[in-house]
């Protein structure tokens, strides 16, 4: 399967954890737009306001909790008709084909994806929200990763 984006596996896996955390905390849906880079990334969500400092701290805590659990990151392939029943496929390109790759992060997150990922969440490192902003119904969350492992090893 071709990879259309040159995502960093650590950052890309962190994006999945952030998206699932936002869904669980705010029922806002996954980000509709994301820019994933090795040093700093951002995700945009349809939202009604900016986040509070307490909410930012909660999001960081929940994402880092999943990272610390050392969850396995696995892929599976589903026929597109089965994938349509379980997942939002609106972001898929028209030429996605009949078989869809699903990335599972433990029992925390599962979604269609073409990008590279870590094998285990402990490889991600510490997740940190750098800043947030809100403008015209869009919440932007900017984040980075610190060390490769939370125990201080790099």
More confident residue, 88 or 52: 52
Contact 124, 108 (CB under 8 A): no
Mean pLDDT, range 101-130, rounded to an integer: 96
Which residues does residue 78 pair with via DSSP β-bridges, in sequence order?
A: 100
Confidence at residue 5, expressed as pLDDT on a 0 to 100 scale: 55
CATH class of 9-74+119-145: alpha beta
Confidence at residue 87, expressed as pLDDT on a 0 to 100 scale: 92
DSSP notation for 102-150: EEEETTTEEEE--S---SBGGGT--EEEEEEEEETTEEEEEEEE-SSST
Contact 4, 32 (CB under 8 A): no
């Amino acid at each position: 399967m071709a990879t259309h984006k040159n995502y960093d596996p650590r950052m890309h896996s962190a994006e999945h954890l952030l998206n699932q955390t936002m869904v669980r905390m705010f029922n806002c849906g996954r980000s509709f737009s994301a820019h994933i880079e090795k040093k700093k990334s951002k995700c945009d969500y349809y939202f009604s306001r900016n986040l509070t400092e307490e909410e930012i701290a909660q999001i960081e805590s929940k994402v880092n909790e999943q990272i610390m659990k050392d969850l396995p990151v696995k892929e599976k392939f589903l026929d597109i008709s089965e994938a349509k029943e379980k997942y939002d496929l609106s972001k898929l390109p028209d030429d996605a084909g009949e078989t869809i790759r699903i990335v599972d992060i433990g029992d925390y997150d599962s979604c269609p994806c073409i990008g590279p990922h870590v094998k285990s969440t402990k490889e991600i490192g510490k997740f940190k929200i750098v800043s947030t902003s809100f403008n015209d119904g869009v919440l932007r969350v900017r984040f980075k990763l610190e060390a490769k492992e939370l125990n201080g090893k790099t």
